[in-house]
Amino acid sequence: MYRLNLISGGTKISYQPLSISLKYLIDDNKLEKSLPNLEKIFNIKFSELQRQNFLSSEGGKIRVTKPSGKPDALILWKVKLDEKFDADYFRNHLAEFISNLKTEVTKNLHIFIPAYSAVKKHFDSEEYYYQTFVEGVLFGNYSFDKYKSKKVKHKVLDVHFYAENEKKLKSAITTAEKLITSVNITRDLQNEPANNLTPEILAKRVSAEVKPFGIKATIFGDREIQKRKMGGLIAIGQGSINKPRFIILEYKPTIKSKKNKKGKTKTIALVGKGITFDTGGISLKPSKNMGEMKADMSGAAVVVGTLIAAAKNNLPVHLFGIIPSAENMVSGESIRPGDVVKISNGKTVEIEDTDAEGRVVLADALHYASQLKPDQMIDLATLTGACVVALGEFVAGMFTKNDAMAGGLYKSGITTYDRVWRLPMWDDFNELITSDVADVANLGSTRWAGAITAAKFLEHFVDKNIPWTHLDIAGPAMNNPSRSYTKKYMTGFGVRLLFDYLSHRV
């Protein structure tokens, strides 16, 4: 991991020792003619083999070492604007580039960004185009090695960016740094082993993380949870010696804010599932890969990262973050299949499966959030394997009856590549979660439409007058092979999505 210094390079380029220049070249009809010009600029000579390989349909890279330095090495990377090119191209490429660069002794990296006009149709704005480059560098630099006994001294890397519009580039660097450091807080929470992140520890750590940014944190302990009759949270957490906590975060903008129809500051409630470890309870999960369930609190982590990103960037939206946190463990006190619990809104739930626990704790949280009377509510949860079966590992399921929210979140997903896909919320699905002994069952009566029936369950605890969207992030929250920056660690999926949505589409 580097200690990065991100610099807007300006017009004057000064190469220090141990420097690499990375220049992206758009594959167009002028590519062959540009090579002699680059030879003059960098005072180098390409061999015929390098030239032919680079220009071939399969080629894409030249690396030239300069014994005289300035820079010590030049890397040309050919960019094909074909059907495989997308808005994540440079973020994804640079994340892998930086990760591989860590084995070298480079101290300065100079990145030359192609003209925006060549790729304009793929990006929302020129500034966001530049931001993807910076995000790629920051993503590639992430690691979670706090438990390694051998500590590696972090090397310093100065990264210089060059672009047509220096003002927009500087703004992009500032925004990206604030945003990705917030994403990294989310990732650190996700990757933390469960023995060091019980509900109580999570509550204390979240309070400490948000305090420097003026975000208010309120924690409900056992007594207050009991007083508020949060039966779902109590039931799921009762099998563990580490008792539940209920976390409320609040961010208020200090600048001119966005207004709702009543002329008041727009208020959004974000709700995140905070199961710090999920054994499945008595409906025990298979042992293989159960360790990944340390990240079953990813929804909570995304809420924390999003509020911090909002505060760092002074977003003009009033935000609440609601986190119900528990451990779903096996003991003589664990909740049983067939039990009936009462949620804080008075509705009763028949527990068909103790491994469908996330929706039960979210029920109390959604009811609490509804009482705040926000303009919109969004919940995030690693809720169902069924959603991963339906959409794969790299897409979140989106469930809402509100077309405006669906459209805005979809657009933000395409922009940021934290992508979401809408699934139906028709009332026909309610038939699958009916119960003979309670108001609703916590699991569908068949294996079909599991992600949808989970969303329909949650709907029972949301004020019908509040626009609401449920995001099932069970796939993309976990490390997966879809992008270079999602392969190794839990991903922080959702923070960039919500930040873009709150910035531009609320």
From edge to edge, which strands make up the β-sheet containing 61-65? 2-8, 155-162, 108-112, 19-26, 73-79, 61-65
Q: Which residues pair with 379 in a beta bridge?
A: 271, 470
Beta carbons within 10 angstroms of residue 462's beta carbon? 21
- Identify the three-state secondary structure at position 92: helix
Q: What DSSP character marks residue 381?
A: E
Torsion angle of alpha carbons 370, 315, 169, 186, nearest 10°?
Answer: -50
> Which element (helix H / strand E) includes 379?
strand 376-381
Ranges assigned E (strand) in 14-139: 19-26, 61-65, 73-79, 108-112
Q: Is 496 a catalytic site residue? A: no
Tell me if residue 63 is catalytic: no
Q: Which residues lie closer than 8 Å to 259 by C-beta, 6 or more apart?
A: 265, 266
Please identify which of the residues 23, 168, 243, 359 carries the catalytic annotation.
359
Q: Which of 164, 132, 222, 140 is nearest to 10 (CA)?
A: 164
Choose the catalytic residue: 51, 252, 285, 505: 285
Query: For residue 126, which amino acid is it?
Result: E
* Rounded (10°) angle between helices 48-55 and 31-42: 140
Within 8 A by CB and 6+ apart from 10, the residues are 162, 166
Instruction: Tell the burial category of 122 from Cβ atoms under 10 Å away from its Cβ (0-12, 13-18, 19+).
Output: middle
β-bridge pairing 318-328 and 274-278? parallel
Do the Cβ atoms of 311 and 214 come closer than 8 Å? Answer: yes
Distance CA 308, CA 286 (A): 36
Q: Are 475 and 388 in contact (CB under 8 A)?
A: yes
Environment class of residue 67 by beta-carbon count within 10 Å: exposed (0-12), middle (13-18) or buried (19+)?
exposed
Give catalytic residues, as residue numbers.
Answer: 285, 359
